[in-house]
C-alpha cells in the first residue's frame, strides 16, 4: 500500500483481517474489544522486560513507542529508556518541552512528546500503540472493522508495522519536526525486523493471562440484554448536547491562547473560559459514562481491570484537584506514603471518578472548607480516606431521577452516592460514606492490592509474575 491511511484500522481491513463475529450480538462488540485492548496493554510491560534484557544497561535507544490517546508505558525503567510520542487531540494539546534545533544523538533520557492531531483526524477515534525495537515491532489497536463495529487488532507483521509508520509520519512532521529525522534514522537502523515466532507466541500467551475475568454469555443471552430506559437515553443525549458546543469553544480558546498579541487581562479571561469548559466537559463525560454503565446488564464487560499504579494516579491528580479546590476557597491536603503498592483497577476511570468526587465536595461547600486525603494499608487492601469539612453547613441537594443530585443554590449536577458506590465496585473497590454532621463527611475507599503469582512459559523456562 503506497498511499497514507487515515486510520490504522484501515491497514487490517484492507489486508483481509476477519470482521466481527456475527454469532455475537453487536452491542457487545465494544466491551469485548475493550477487554482485549486492556489485556494487551497489561501484558506489554512484562513482555518488554523479559524480551529486552539489555533495557537496564543503557547505551543505544532500545525502542520507540508511539501511542494514543494516552501513554501505555508506566514502568520507570521502560519510560527512562524508550522514546515516547503521545497522539493528543488538538483541543487537549499542551506543548511539552521540545528539543532546540537539530541534535545528532539521543539525549541520556529519551523524551516524551505530544503529537497534536488536527480536528476531524480519524486517528483521534482510535486507541493504538505502535512499538519498534531492534528485535521486533508490534502494533496494538482498538479500532473499527469493516462493519463499523469496535474491534481489537494486534500484529508483529513487518509490512503492517511499516504501513502504520507511513501513516503516523504525516502527523509527526507537524508536532515532532525536530525529532522526526532522529526517529527516521533509528527506525531505519531497526529495519522492521521479522520477529522470532516464539516472541509472538509468548506475547499471545501473556495477553490471555492478563485478560480481565468475564462472564461467558451465549448469543441468546446477549440478545436478551435489557435496553436502556428512556430516562437514561434522554440523559445521554443531553450530556452529548452540552459537551459538543463546549468542546468547540475550548478548541477556539486553545487557538487563541497561542497568540502573542493578546493583553494579560484578555489572556486571563480566555484561560478562565477554557478552565470552565474543561470542568463542565469532564463532568458531562463522567455522567455519560455512569449512565452507560448503569444501563448495561453486565457493566464489568465495559470496565476491565488491570494492574494500576495508584501512586501515578494521585501524582497526576492531586495538583489538579488542589487548583480546583482553591477556586472555591477549599484547602486540600494529602498524606500519601512514599511508595504505594499497585492495585487492581482501571486507571483512567478511577482518575475520572475521583476527580468527580473532589468537584462534588468543593462545589457543595458553602464559603470554603477543608479536605484531608490520607492513604494507608489495611491488610491486602489500600485504604483511601477523604475527610471533608465545610466552614458552614453544606449547600442542600435534592435527588434528580435515579442517577443525579442537584444543588439548587449552585446549579451543580453530580452523581448520587449510590451510583458512585457502584462505580467503585466496578473499579475493584468499595466506597463507604459516613456523615458525621451537616458539614462533615468521611469517605473511605478500599482497593485490593495486586498480589498474584502466575506461571508463564518463557521459551521453555518457567518464571513468575508477581
Instruction: Quick: pLDDT tens for 403-417.
Output: 888 877 777 778 888
Higher pLDDT, 286 or 57: 286
State the cell numbers at 156: 508483529
Residue 436 and residue 359 share a domain: yes
Quote the radius of gyration of the chain (alpha carbons, Å).
Answer: 23
Same domain, 273 and 347: no
Helices of type H across 158-218? 158-175, 180-190, 197-209
Q: What is the pLDDT of residue 27?
A: 59
d(CA 62, CA 77): 11
What is d(CA 54, CA 60) in angstroms, rounded to the nearest whole number?
A: 10
Residue 344 corresponds to which cell in the numbers above? 487492581
* Per-residue confidence (pLDDT) for residue 139, from 0 to 100: 95
Give me the percent of the chain exceeding a pLDDT of 90.
Answer: 11
Residues 265 and 208 in one domain: no
Number of domains in the chain: 3
User: Is residue 279 in some structural domain?
Assistant: yes
Pair 240, 265 in one domain: yes
Residue 32 has pLDDT above 60, yes or no: yes
Q: Report whether pLDDT(265) > 50.
A: yes
Q: What's the pLDDT band for 432 if we cut at 50, 70, 90? A: very high
Q: Is residue 26 part of a domain?
A: yes
Task: Answer whether residue 370 shows pLDDT above 60.
Answer: yes
Query: Does pLDDT of 137 surpass 90?
Result: yes
Quick check: is 457 in a domain? no
- Bigger pLDDT: 305 or 145? 145
At residue 2, does pLDDT exceed 70?
A: no
Q: Give the mean pLDDT of 126-131.
A: 92
> Are residue 207 and residue 237 in the same domain, yes or no?
no
User: What per-residue confidence (pLDDT) applies to 36?
Assistant: 86
**Residues 142 and 164 grouped into a single domain:** yes
Give the domain-ending residue among 301, 320, 341. 301
Q: Is 174 a domain residue?
A: yes
Looking at residue 361, its pLDDT comes to 84
Question: What's the mean pLDDT in 445-453?
Answer: 73
The pLDDT score that the predictor gives to residue 219 is 40
- Give yes or no: residues 271 and 210 share one domain: no
Collapsing DSSP to helix, strand or coil, 412 comes out as: strand
Beta strand 398-400 with 440-448 is unpaired
- Least confident span in 30-34, 58-62, 223-227: 223-227
Q: Is the pLDDT of residue 463 over 50?
A: no
Contact in structure between 287 and 354 (CB atoms under 8 Å): no
More confident residue, 71 or 224: 71
The Cα–Cα gap between 432 and 444 comes to 5
pLDDT given at position 97: 36
Which residues partner with 343 through β-bridges?
308, 449
What was the pLDDT predicted at 387? 92
Same domain (yes/no): 286, 380: no
| Residue that terminates a domain, selected from 286, 301, 316 | 301
Last residue of a domain, one of 159, 183, 216: 216
* Residue 465: closest CA among 42, 57, 31: 42
Identify the domain containing residue 41 by its residue range.
9-216
What is the mean predicted confidence (pLDDT) over 272-297?
78
CA dihedral of residues 421, 425, 428, 430 (deg, nearest 10): 50
Give the residue, 442 or 177, on which the prediction is more confident. Answer: 442
In this prediction, what percent of the chain has a pLDDT beyond 70?
A: 76
Report if residue 456 sits inside a domain. Answer: no
Structure confidence at residue 371 (pLDDT) = 92
Taking the C-alpha atoms of residue 61 and residue 111, their distance in angstroms, rounded to an integer, is 11
Q: How confident is the model at residue 84 (pLDDT cuts 50, 70, 90)?
A: confident
Q: Are strands 404-407 and 461-465 parallel, antiparallel or unpaired?
A: unpaired
- Does residue 170 lie in a domain region? yes
Q: How far apart are CA 75 and CA 83, in angstroms?
A: 13
For 318-364, write each residue's pLDDT tens digit.
888 888 888 888 899 988 887 788 888 888 788 889 988 888 888 87
* The pLDDT of residue 464 is above 60: no
Does the structure show a pLDDT above 50 at 295?
Answer: yes
Q: Is residue 52 part of a domain?
A: yes
Average pLDDT over residues 207-222: 56
289 with 393, same domain?
Answer: no
pTM, to two decimals? 0.52
Is residue 238 a part of any domain in this protein? yes
Residues 151 and 81 in one domain: yes
| CA-closest candidate to residue 174, choices 217, 219, 123 | 123
Residues 6+ apart with CB under 8 A from 133: 52, 62, 63, 64, 190
Q: Looking at the structure, tell me whether residues 44 and 189 fall in a common domain.
A: yes
pLDDT in tens, 155-198: 999 999 999 998 888 777 766 666 788 888 888 888 898 988 88
Higher pLDDT, 213 or 215: 213
3-state secondary structure of 178: coil
- The pLDDT confidence band at residue 372, using thresholds 50, 70 and 90, is very high
Per-residue pLDDT at 215 exceeds 70: no
The CATH number given to whatever domain includes residue 369 is 3.30.565.10
Asked whether residue 237 falls in the same domain as residue 332, the answer is no
The reported pLDDT for the residue numbered 283 is 80
Amino acid at each position: 500500500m503506497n498511499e497514507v491511511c487515515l486510520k490504522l484500522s484501515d491497514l487490517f481491513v484492507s489486508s483481509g483481517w476477519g470482521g466481527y463475529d456475527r454469532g455475537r450480538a453487536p452491542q457487545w462488540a465494544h466491551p469485548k474489544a475493550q477487554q482485549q485492548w486492556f489485556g494487551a496493554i497489561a501484558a506489554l510491560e512484562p513482555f518488554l522486560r523479559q524480551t529486552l534484557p539489555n533495557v537496564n544497561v543503557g547505551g543505544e535507544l532500545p525502542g520507540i513507542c508511539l501511542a494514543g490517546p494516552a501513554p501505555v508505558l508506566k514502568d520507570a525503567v521502560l519510560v527512562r529508556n524508550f522514546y515516547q510520542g503521545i497522539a493528543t487531540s488538538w483541543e487537549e494539546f499542551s506543548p511539552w518541552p521540545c528539543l532546540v534545533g537539530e541534535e545528532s544523538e539521543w539525549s541520556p533520557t529519551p523524551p516524551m512528546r505530544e503529537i497534536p492531531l488536527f480536528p476531524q483526524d480519524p486517528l483521534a477515534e482510535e486507541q493504538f500503540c505502535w512499538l519498534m525495537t531492534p528485535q521486533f515491532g508490534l502494533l496494538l489497536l482498538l479500532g473499527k472493522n469493516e462493519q463499523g463495529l469496535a474491534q481489537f487488532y494486534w500484529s508483529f507483521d513487518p509490512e503492517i508495522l511499516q504501513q502504520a509508520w507511513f501513516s503516523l509520519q504525516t502527523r509527526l512532521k507537524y508536532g515532532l519536526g525536530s525529532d522526526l529525522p532522529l526517529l527516521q534514522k533509528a527506525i531505519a537502523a531497526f529495519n522492521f525486523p521479522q520477529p522470532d515466532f516464539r516472541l509472538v507466541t509468548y506475547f499471545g500467551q501473556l495477553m490471555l493471562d492478563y485478560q480481565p475475568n468475564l462472564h461467558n454469555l451465549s448469543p441468546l443471552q446477549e440478545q436478551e440484554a435489557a435496553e436502556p430506559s428512556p430516562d437514561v437515553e434522554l440523559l445521554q443525549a443531553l450530556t452529548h448536547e452540552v459537551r459538543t458546543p463546549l468542546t468547540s469553544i475550548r478548541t477556539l480558546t486553545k487557538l487563541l491562547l497561542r497568540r502573542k498579541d493578546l493583553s494579560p487581562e484578555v489572556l486571563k479571561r480566555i484561560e478562565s473560559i477554557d478552565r470552565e469548559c474543561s470542568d463542565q466537559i469532564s463532568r458531562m463525560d463522567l455522567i455519560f459514562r455512569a449512565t452507560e454503565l448503569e444501563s448495561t446488564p453486565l457493566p464489568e464487560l465495559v470496565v476491565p481491570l488491570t494492574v494500576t499504579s495508584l501512586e501515578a494516579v494521585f501524582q497526576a491528580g492531586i495538583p489538579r484537584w488542589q487548583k480546583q479546590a482553591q477556586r472555591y476557597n477549599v484547602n486540600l491536603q494529602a498524606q500519601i506514603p512514599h511508595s504505594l503498592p499497585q492495585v487492581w483497577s482501571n486507571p483512567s476511570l478511577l482518575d475520572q471518578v475521583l476527580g468527580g468526587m473532589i468537584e462534588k465536595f468543593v462545589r457543595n461547600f458553602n464559603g470554603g472548607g477543608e479536605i484531608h486525603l490520607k492513604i494507608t494499608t489495611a491488610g491486602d487492601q489500600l485504604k483511601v480516606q477523604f475527610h471533608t469539612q465545610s466552614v458552614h453547613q453544606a449547600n442542600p441537594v435534592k435527588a434528580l431521577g435515579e442517577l443525579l443530585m442537584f444543588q439548587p443554590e449552585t446549579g451543580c449536577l453530580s452523581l448520587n452516592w449510590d451510583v458512585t458506590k457502584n462505580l467503585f465496585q466496578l473499579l475493584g473497590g468499595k466506597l463507604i460514606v459516613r456523615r458525621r454532621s451537616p458539614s462533615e463527611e468521611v469517605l473511605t475507599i478500599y482497593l485490593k492490592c495486586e498480589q498474584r503469582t502466575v506461571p508463564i512459559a518463557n521459551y521453555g523456562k518457567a518464571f513468575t509474575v508477581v
